[in-house]
A and B are shown apart, each in its own frame.
Chain A
C-alpha cells in the first residue's frame, strides 16, 4: 500500500473520532457493527482500498486466476493460495504465521463460537499450510466473493486464543492484532483509546515507520446533534458517516471539511409480496416507480446522494449496467396506468379496485432522520396518483423483524454490500434477507451464474441480465446511491473514505495531523 509521500507529513498527535454507536465487542467476528476500531488494530490478508479494489496486507499479493493464486478444478472446486509477508509480528511480539490463518477459520466456523459473521467459513473444505508463510485454502465451490469474507476481516492470534471460549474471552475487549494501532484502554459507553504500534511492519515511501499518528481516541457519541456540537467545538477531529442533515448544517463551519465518499450502499423502496394483493400487481408498482422524483429526494438530502437506476451502484464499475431500463418520473403516465387498469378514484381521491383500496403503510427505521424525510416525500408524491401511505416506522429489532418477515406493505431501507457484492441474499427466492417474499426462478439463475462466474466479461453480462430482470419485475425501486458523508477537522490529512463495509480505518496508518488549524481558503489554494 503506497503511503502519502507529501513532504509536509508531520508524524505524531492524537486524533479524536466520534462514533455514533455504542460498541458491543471489539472482536471483528462477533461485533454487530462495522469494525471501525477493529480495522485499526486487526489486519486481514487483503483489504479493499479506497476504490473498493483489493490490495495485499498480510499477504504479499491478492490471489487471482491470472497470477496463479487461484486454481480452479474441473469439478468446480477452488484453491486459493496466499503467500504471507515475512517478519510480521503480533502486537505482543509473537511471530505471525500460516497457523494463525488456519486457526482463524477453525475458530470462526466452530459452532460454539457465537459469531455475528461466519461469512465464507462454511464454503471452505480444508486449509493446508505447507510452510509458515504459505496458506492454501480449499473451497468446495468456486466463490467469486471469497476475498470479501473470512481472511479480509482479520486474522486471530492462535497462540492467545486456541482452546479458549471465544464468546467470553478478554480478547473481545482487548484484541491483539498485527495492525498499526494497539488497544490501550476500552471504557464501555465512553471511549476506546488506541496507541501507535511502535513495531508495525509497514513503512512509507520515505522509509518512515507507519503509522503517523501517536494515538486515536474513539469517543462514543450516540446523539448526532451532539456529534455536530463536538466537531464544531473542536473536541473531535473526525465524525465518519454522519447523517446528510448534519452535514448540511456543518457545511461551511470554521475549520470543518465535509468529505464525501462513494459507498456500496443504496436506498430503496421495497414491496412486500406477502400482504396487500394490489402490491403484487405490476401495474401498481410501475405507477409508484413513475410517481417518485429522485431529484427531490436528492435535494431533501442536502444534495449528497445520487439518483440511481439499479441495485448495482455505479461505484461497482465491473458490474453496473448504465443502460438498464428505468421508469422516469412521470406522474401523468402513472395516473393513466392506474386509470387504465381500473383503479378508480373514490370521493377522497384514493383509488380502489374490487374493494382493494390503494392505502398502505410505509415503514422506515425510526431515528434514521434521512430515511424519515425521504419517506415523507414519497408519501406526498404517491398521494398525487391516488395512493395513500401512512408512516409505520419501527425501531431497532422491530424494524429488522418487519424487514425479514415481510410484515410491511412498503419499506424504505438501505443495504450495503462488500466490494464483491452478493445479491442473491436480497432477491433470491431463498435469500436470507429477502423478507419481501419475491421469487423468480429466472432471477435466481442469473444470480447463481453471477456468483460462481470468475471471468470479468461474463460476470458483466450476468450482472446485466440480473439488473434487467429486477428492472422489469420491480420488486424494489432503487432510488439513491448512499454517499458516505464524513465531517473532519481540516487539520486531518491523508484521510480518504473507504466505500466498503471494511470502514475508513482500514487506511488509518497514513493519516496525519497538521499541527494547527488551517484557514479553509488556504486549503483551497493548495499550500497551507
Chain B
C-alpha cells in the first residue's frame, strides 16, 4: 500500500463527511420541537427573553444559513456551545468520551477473546454436541435483551452476592485500578456478550467455508496438523470477512451504548446523545454525530488496511 493511496483515501473522506453533515443537519432540524421548547415549561420566560436566546444561538436564521454558520465554525475548530449546559460542545464530548472508549474497548476485547475460540471450536467440531451447546449459547447471547441481562446480573452480583457495585463509573474518592475494574466488569460483560455471539457465528461460517477449500486439503495431505493448518492457512483467510464486521462495530464504540450506559449509570457518549436528543441540543447533537461519522469512515479505512495486512492477495494502490 503506497502513501499516495493512503493520502487519496484520506482526502476522499472530506467530501463524504460534508455530505454526511448536510444530511444530519437536515434530519436533526426536521425532528419536531426545538431547543427553546424546554423553556416553555416555565411561564416566566418572557417572549422577549426567548427572542434573545433564539438570536444568541442563531436559531432565528433560516436552516440553510444555520448550516453554513455551523460549517464555518466547525472548520476553524469551534464546535459551539451546548444549549442545555452552556458549556463548549468539545468539553461536553471530551468529558464523556473516555468512559465510552473504556467500556466499548474492553467490551470489544472481551468479545474477541470469546468469539475466536468459540468460532474455531464450533467450526472444527461441526454438528458435534459441543457445536450444538455453543450454538445454543451464541443464539441466547444474540437474542437475550441487553436490559434484561443487565438487570439479572445486577440482582445476582450486587444484591444477592454483594461482589460488584451495581452501577457507576468510579467510587468517589477511590481512584484505584481495582475500583475501576469492579465498576467496569458488569457493563463490559453485558455489552460484549451479544457482540461475541454474533462474531463467533460469523467466524464459524467463514471458517467452514475455508475448510472446504482445496488448499486446506492439500495442506492436510502434506501432513500439516490441525493446529498448523489453522494458524498458517485457514484462520488468516477466515478472518478477512470478520474484519469488516469488527471494524464497523469498532466505530459504534464511539457512538456509545445507550442502553448499557443508562442501566449502569455509565457517564458515556450514548447517554449524552439521548439527553441532547431529548433537549434538541443541536450543537451537541451535531458534534456527537459528526464524531460518530468520522469514526465510521476511519474504521472503514482501517479495515481496508487490515485486509492488506491479513491477506497478501489483497493489494491496493
Contacts and interface: CB of A to CB of B under 8 A. Distances in A.
A465 B84 CA distance: 40
Interface string B95-107: 1100100000000
A433 B43 CA distance: 7
Contacts of A226: 154, 166-167, 262-265
A21 B137 CA distance: 36
Interface in B230-267: 262-265, 267
Interface in A223-273: 223, 225-226, 229-230, 232-233, 235
Contacts, number: 152
Contacts of B99: 189
Contact of A149 (B44, B81, B267, B275): B44
Contacts of B265: 190, 219-223, 226
How many A residues touch the partner, as a band? 35 or more
A216 to B, nearest CB: 11
B292 interface: no
A12 interface: no
B37 A167 contact: no
A32 B279 contact: yes
Interface stretch (A49-57, A117-125, A301-309, A479-487): A117-125
Nearest to B47: A432
A191 B172 contact: yes
Interface in B26-57: 31-34, 37-46, 48-49, 52-53, 56
Interface in A188-236: 188-191, 193, 217, 219-223, 225-226, 229-230, 232-233, 235
B167 A114 contact: no
B166 A229 contact: yes
B270 to A, nearest CB: 10
A133 B112 CA distance: 68
Interface in B156-189: 158-159, 162, 165-170, 172
Contacts of A117: 42, 44-45
A396 interface: yes
B172 A120 contact: no
B102 to A, nearest CB: 13
Contact of B159 (A30, A118, A233, A398): A233
B87 interface: yes
B86 A220 contact: no
A437 B42 CA distance: 18
B156 to A, nearest CB: 11
A188 B44 CA distance: 28
A119 B162 contact: no
A25 B85 contact: yes
Contacts of B38: 32, 116, 397, 400
B85 A397 contact: no
Nearest to A189: B267
A117 B155 CA distance: 41
Given A119-B44, A229-B159, A397 B32 contact: yes
A120 B159 contact: no
Contact of A168 (B45, B81, B277): B81
Given A223-B262, A397-B278, A189 B96 contact: yes
A190 B268 CA distance: 9
B50 to A, nearest CB: 10
A111 B48 contact: yes
Contacts of A173: 87
Contact of B162 (A112, A189, A233, A400): A233
A190 B277 contact: no
Given A111-B52, A115-B49, A118-B49, A396 B267 contact: no
B39, B42, B172, B275: residue with the most chain A Cβ atoms closer than 10 Å: B172
A431 interface: yes
19 contacts: A32-B84, A111-B48, A114-B86, A118-B44, A172-B87, A188-B96, A189-B99, A190-B169, A190-B170, A191-B168, A220-B267, A221-B167, A221-B265, A222-B265, A226-B262, A230-B167, A233-B158, A235-B168, A404-B37
Sorted from nearest, which 4 A-B pairs have the closest CB atoms? A189-B267, A396-B278, A397-B33, A119-B44
